[in-house]
Chains A and B, each alone.
Chain A
Amino acid sequence: MLISRVAGISLRGLSKHKMRAFLMMLGIIIGIATLTVIVSAGKGMQKKITKSIQSFGPNAVMVSAGGGKMFGPPDDKVTTLTLDDATAIKESIKGIRAFSPFTITLEQSIIYGNRNSTAPVVGATPEFADAWQWYAEKGDFISDEDNASMSKNCMLGRTVVRELFGDQDPVGETIRVNNTNFKVIGVLTGRGTSPMGMDMDRRVMVPLTTAMKRLFNVTYIGMIRMYIDDASRLDEVSKTVTSILKERHHITPPQEDDFRVTNTMSMANMAKGVSRTLGTFLALLSLISLGVGGIVIANIMFISVNERKKEIGIRRAFGATAGDIKKQFLGEALFVTIGGGIAGAVMGLIISEGLAVIKRMPVVLSWEPFALAIMFSTIVGLIAGLQPARRAAAMDPVDAIKG
């Protein structure tokens, strides 16, 4: 029998039971829609990770005070990392292009005229620029003189500029940080969002000495950032830094480290880990609904085969072979699953777009869900349809025609 004729029979069979066909499709629609959201969100996450790595910076190693597993800037109460630690690290590692110890606080209140905002305050040396590959887009960067004189000069990130100054040029203006007046000498280039989701353009940068002695009166630093010459040495440098600090802080095995060392690679891996966990969960959900959908289809097909016994008998009497009957029912299962799959992919893309708009989730819409939909639907259709189709084909024509 011609394949187009089989397809015609299957389609007609389905069109006579539209509600049933829709119910059969439902599980597949949900499963494939979920799968589509996974693909879209996964690709979005991938894009975000790539952006995050760019914002973290390549070839970078960071040391932060305080132990634990969290990334990002430390609590400003942690007192374990000192400038002497920084000097010791700088002297023992070769191939450092830029080396920048700095402090960072929680958000402080920043006032300009009658406007106010909040931002973390960073205390930095000029080398911060090279270590972060992060420069002044307007005005000057913090200089060695600023550090030597504990000057009350500062730089602002773009977000702070927008909130306090709007379109006005901030360079030369005076702002209040924690009740101390600072003169704005420069604006930092835009950096976007950190891998941790922090707005890196929301910050005020002052000389390291000013931050330590004048503003907060502390003897410790928060973090060290290194820019090394070779990405392949990231892990090696991280290990060396760890062993130096363990020795200096007298940390022996059962004790936990009181510092953390991260680098571009470990940052990327963590971000991937988060999206992988989410992806695995959604993939599981999708597989469950495809599995349940398949079972529903198989069951409805069995019912359908029994109800249509007479039809099968009539077809057999007029020359349908057992194979023709099998193809007909398998065809119906495949039309249901592939139809459901394509509908699910379309729905998934709509949901993904919705998430992007409403939840501001990073998503990337692509054609891949359709390929996946057709692949998975075909597999589910074949598995779910095969047994019912075999049962239909195995019916004895004489019995079947009695109904």
Chain B
Amino acid sequence: MIELKGITKKYTKNGSPEVSVLQGVDLEIRKGEFVAIMAPSGMGKSTLMNIIGCLDRPSAGQYFLDGTEVVSMDDDQLSRTRNKKIGFVFQSFNLLSKTTALENVELPLIYSTEDVDLKAKARAALEAVGLGDRLDHVPSELSGGQQQRVAIARALVNDPALILADEPTGNLDTASSHEVMNIFRKLHQDGRTIVLVTHEPDVAGEAQRIIKMKDGKILSDERRAE
């Protein structure tokens, strides 16, 4: 499903010396796995997320997603890959403001090359996360937990191969966090591949496999018996 080989990422900012954020990451994630990546902030987990999510390209290394080599893709191919295969869930929800839940969920479908019934699919996705009665609400009219559920519906609507969640409970209270994690658990049971980045051990504890990172390298990789 995901195969990273010797991934490095270096940044240079305004002539200051090069910073290596990722220093040779090898990682394999199989279909249907629920993986948590844990790292203190600034230790390269966001960069790794962006690379896995096809938003960013590594400085060196190889990345196969669903059997396809990603590193050599051009910008349009990366966009299309994100559209088809990746569903992002962000810490700060990243919903479009002043835009209804339904329209937010339609977003990935709009950029899909397939001619589908946007409204019907978006409504189904919102119903699946229990928000069938909030279709016309804009984000400011929804609670944090509801907003994150809209975001999850948006991530799911195009039926992606991989759900990529970056601190999905970071901005939520305990009750909402539980709601959201329940959805992830259910998605995992349905056979979805989920990669979740977090620094909260509780959240990571939901995953079946925990990868710890430090200084741009993988420190440990533990599988839990189910």
Contact = CB atoms under 8 A, between A and B. Distances in A.
Interface in B56-100: 56, 75-76, 79-80, 82-84, 88, 90, 94-96, 98-99
A317 B103 contact: no
Interface string A32-75: 00000000000000000000000000000000000000000000
Interface string A252-282: 0000000000000000000000000000000
B96 A314 contact: yes
B8 to A, nearest CB: 16
**Best-surrounded residue of B96, B99, B154 (most CB of chain A within 10 A):** B96
B110 A1 contact: yes
A324 B111 contact: yes
Contacts of B76: 321-323
A314 B95 CA distance: 8
Contacts of A324: 79, 111
B55 A319 contact: no
Contacts of B55: 316-317, 397-398, 401
Nearest to B118: A5
Interface string A1-31: 1100100110010001000000000000000
Contacts of A12: 99, 103
Interface in A314-334: 314-324
A390 interface: no
A397 B99 CA distance: 20
Nearest to A5: B110
Given A9-B110, A12-B99, A319 B82 contact: yes
A318 B115 contact: no
Nearest to A6: B110
A191 interface: no
A317 B92 CA distance: 14
Interface of A is mostly: helix
A318 B83 contact: yes
**Best-surrounded residue of A16, A313, A318 (most CB of chain B within 10 A):** A318
Interface in A298-357: 310-311, 313-324
A398 B111 contact: no
B75 A321 contact: yes
Contact of A16 (B80, B98, B107, B113): B98
B147 to A, nearest CB: 13
Contact of B107 (A313, A315, A322, A397): A315
B115 A314 contact: no
Nearest to B113: A1
Contacts of A2: 115
A2 B109 CA distance: 11
Nearest to A16: B98
B144 to A, nearest CB: 17
A313 B110 CA distance: 15
Contacts of B82: 316-319
Given A398-B50, A398-B56, A319 B99 contact: no
A401 B79 contact: no
B154 A318 contact: yes
Nearest to A313: B94
A365 to B, nearest CB: 40
B145 interface: no
B210 to A, nearest CB: 25
Nearest to B51: A398
Contacts of A315: 107, 111
Nearest to B85: A319
B108 interface: yes
B83 A319 contact: yes
Nearest to B104: A314
A320 to B, nearest CB: 5
Contacts of B154: 318
B108 A319 contact: yes
B94 A1 contact: no
B216 interface: no
A83 B95 CA distance: 94
A321 B80 contact: yes
A316 B94 CA distance: 12
A188 B176 CA distance: 97
A397 B50 CA distance: 10
Contacts of B110: 1, 5, 8-9
B53 interface: yes
A316 B108 CA distance: 10
Nearest to A310: B94
Interface in A349-382: none
Interface in A203-245: none
Contacts of A317: 53, 55, 82, 88, 94
Interface string B105-126: 0011011110100000000000
A310 B96 CA distance: 9
B94 A321 contact: no
A311 B107 contact: no
Contacts of A314: 94-96, 107
Contacts of A321: 75-76, 79-80, 111
Interface of B: 50, 53, 55-56, 75-76, 79-80, 82-84, 88, 90, 94-96, 98-99, 103, 107-108, 110-113, 115, 154, 158
Interface of A: 1-2, 5, 8-9, 12, 16, 310-311, 313-324, 397-398, 401
- Nearest 4 A/B pairs, CB to CB: A319-B83, A319-B111, A321-B79, A318-B108
16 contacts: A8-B110, A12-B99, A310-B94, A311-B96, A313-B94, A317-B53, A318-B88, A319-B79, A319-B158, A320-B79, A320-B111, A321-B111, A322-B79, A323-B76, A324-B111, A401-B94
Given A16-B99, A314-B95, 11 more contacts: A1-B111, A310-B94, A314-B94, A314-B96, A315-B107, A316-B82, A317-B53, A319-B80, A321-B111, A397-B56, A401-B90
